[in-house]
Structure formats: structure tokens, C-alpha cells
Amino acid sequence: MVTALEEAVAAVADPELRVLTIADLGILRGIEVAAGGRVTVTITPTYTGCPAMDVIRRDIVAAARAAGSAEVEVRTELSPPWTTDWISAAGRAKLAAAGIAPPTGRRAATVTLTLTMRCPLCGSPDTEELSRFGSTACKSLWRCRACREPFDAVKAH
């Protein structure tokens, strides 16, 4: 059974990829409620220096309080390290719908493959990387040769 608290915390939006919740992104590791009602939420960072983590911590506390929990603690756990493989299927669909190419799988095959980055706007595989670094730590900048539109892509990590 999903409680109102779990629903509220899972629905916290990522401040840099607003279309994703922290559950979609795969950085929410767990929610525990102790006997006295004290809530402990465990999250994991995407990148070590991700500046969004402080905002996410604050938003989690606010969401849990709004759901009726007075005492809330947010713990950060590094191990095992986050990977873009943890972005849910729903999350990938939301990214693509927002014009951001979802990350290509990096652990699926034993042979290293370079998968084509598809344009999230027109679907063409004829794309080129403009910059390996984008507007946030987790994105790179691409351009579609077919529709000529630039787009962000979430880096495989």
C-alpha cells in the first residue's frame, strides 16, 4: 500500500529536469517511518557536485510536512552509485515528450556499442553532438541534422 506520505515524497520534482519526479529519476532510495512518526527519506546524488541536491532535500522536507509528518530527516547515500539506467521507463517517456533525449542504455550489452542518439523532436537518428557538456551536469548538447533543431540529451552515466 502506498501511503499519502510516500506519494507526496515520490512526487517531488527534480528542479533541473522539471518534468521528472525524484522517483522517475531513480534517486529516491527509500522512505522509513519510525514508531514515533519520525520520517527518514534516503536519496542518492546523480553527480557529486549536483547543485540541485540542496533544493531536492528542502522540497522533500516540505512535501513530507505537508503530508502530515512533523519530523523529517533526509539522508544521502552514495553506494551503489546512481546510474542513468535507474531512470524509469515513465521518466524516459516524459523526457522525450519534453524535447530532451533520454540516455541511451550503457549496461545492456556486454559488447560496447555506440547507440544512435535520436532526435526527441522529429525522431531522426541523424544527429550530432555539439558539446559534451550542457546546461546542467547531467546533460550534453546535440543538434538534429534532419529537422535542424538543437536539443539537450541526458548523458549516459
Contact footprint for another protein (CB under 8 A): 45, 47-51, 78-81, 130-135, 137, 141, 155, 157
Instruction: Extract the C-alpha cell encoding 29.
Output: 532510495
Nearest approach, Cβ of 7 to another protein (angstroms)?
29
Nearest approach, Cβ of 44 to another protein (angstroms)?
9
Q: Which is nearer to another protein, 3 or 135 (by Cβ)?
A: 135
Tell me the backbone φ, ψ of residue 86, rounded to 5 degrees. -85, -5
Q: Which is nearer to another protein, 51 or 68 (by Cβ)?
A: 51
Q: Which is nearer to another protein, 47 or 86 (by Cβ)?
A: 47
- Give the DSSP per-residue string, 92-139: HHHHHHTTEEPPPPSSS-SS---PPPPPTTT--S-EEEEESS-SSTTE
